[in-house]
Chain A
């Protein structure tokens, strides 16, 4: 490299931030030793980086967010999955066959439980006619699940073309089963809004849907 050919933009930044490490090409080093313009520019980049790194973080203008966070955590807890077994099944769904087996077991559980609950055989005590505050909070949580599912579905759509056809079919099949279960559970909850078990099953179904979508995305 001659004095006439200055360092490129990338070379200046790479030298300044250490991307090149100790492997700075000799011609770059030699050019920097001779060219005041390039050397000054590298120094300016370094100066900026030092200044930014040494600057204290932005003043914490967040205030105390804990009360709001606490309230959201409590809302989440209302619809949290109560069965540790189901959570375990969700976590083990790494491979499609295992995922399908876990999913099938959970959906079968829902499909068996739902008619029983409709007939009142497995009904948990309900609190009465008007939806309670807890039920309204549960509805908020359901919306949060649906928002997350929508984001993941959008991502899945972007990646759809890259997923092998067989896996794509399996994912669509699993999602269809879960969506059907969610629909049934929502209808059941409309009829029996204070039924705690139905709400837990709905939360479980949402979690399964999100789990399937995340694994599909990963």
Chain B
């Protein structure tokens, strides 16, 4: 049997066991996916502590919803989508109306503080710059440019118009270009 099939069968087995209430199997799912989920949450909210809380929420929700996972998509994809929803719900509960929140120009920091142009720590520069984007622009930028969601998908998830999503994306890119490539 090819190695990929073995891996796939193993994942299927772990998922099945977790669906049947095996917490140890679910821990294996957590261990395999936590880095990616943390990265997503961290970039979407721009705050380390908030991201940690959200990772917990994501996996608790995953545990609750796992019985509904039917395997049409990869588990990692399912978890990713669930995490996006958890983060957007979190924003929604904090701001009540997510669409208006993302739509609005609610953050006065249009001009992000420039990072050092020749910084060797590229990743830190990018993460820091993304974290400093206004929340609406950051959300759309992370979903579109980092995770590859289309404007229509972003529109469906957040409730903002596709045109608004595009405008926020352009705004985010311009701000990042100013900071990262001054």
Contacts and interface: CB of A to CB of B under 8 A. Distances in A.
A89 to B, nearest CB: 15
A53 interface: yes
Contact of B181 (A48, A57, A60, A154): A48
Interface residues of A, number: 34
A65 B42 CA distance: 14
Contacts, number: 93
B55 A58 contact: no
B170 A57 contact: no
B156 to A, nearest CB: 12
Nearest to B146: A52
Interface string B23-48: 10011001100111011001100001
Interface string A118-143: 00000000000000000000000000
Given A47-B181, A52-B145, A73-B60, A158 B170 contact: no
B137 interface: no
B173 A66 contact: no
A51 interface: yes
Interface in A66-116: 66, 68-70, 72-73, 76
B96 interface: yes
B60 A76 contact: yes
Given A13-B170, A53-B145, A154-B96, A48 B63 contact: no
A76 B63 contact: yes
A62 B52 contact: yes
Contacts of A57: 35-36, 38-39
Interface residues of B, number: 41
A72 B39 contact: no
A198 to B, nearest CB: 22
B51 interface: yes
Contact of B173 (A45, A53, A76, A158): A45
Interface stretch (B1-9, B72-80, B103-111, B119-127): B119-127
B56 interface: yes
B181 A58 contact: no
A4 interface: no
B101 to A, nearest CB: 13
Interface in A28-50: 44-45, 47-49
Given A65-B34, A151-B92, A13 B173 contact: yes
Interface of B: 23, 26-27, 30-31, 34-36, 38-39, 42-43, 48, 51-52, 55-56, 59-60, 63-64, 89, 92-93, 96-97, 122-123, 126-127, 130, 145-146, 166, 169-170, 173, 176-177, 180-181
Nearest 4 pairs of A and B residues by beta carbon: A57-B39, A62-B38, A58-B42, A60-B35
12 contacts: A10-B166, A52-B126, A52-B130, A53-B145, A58-B123, A65-B52, A66-B30, A69-B30, A69-B56, A154-B96, A155-B92, A158-B97
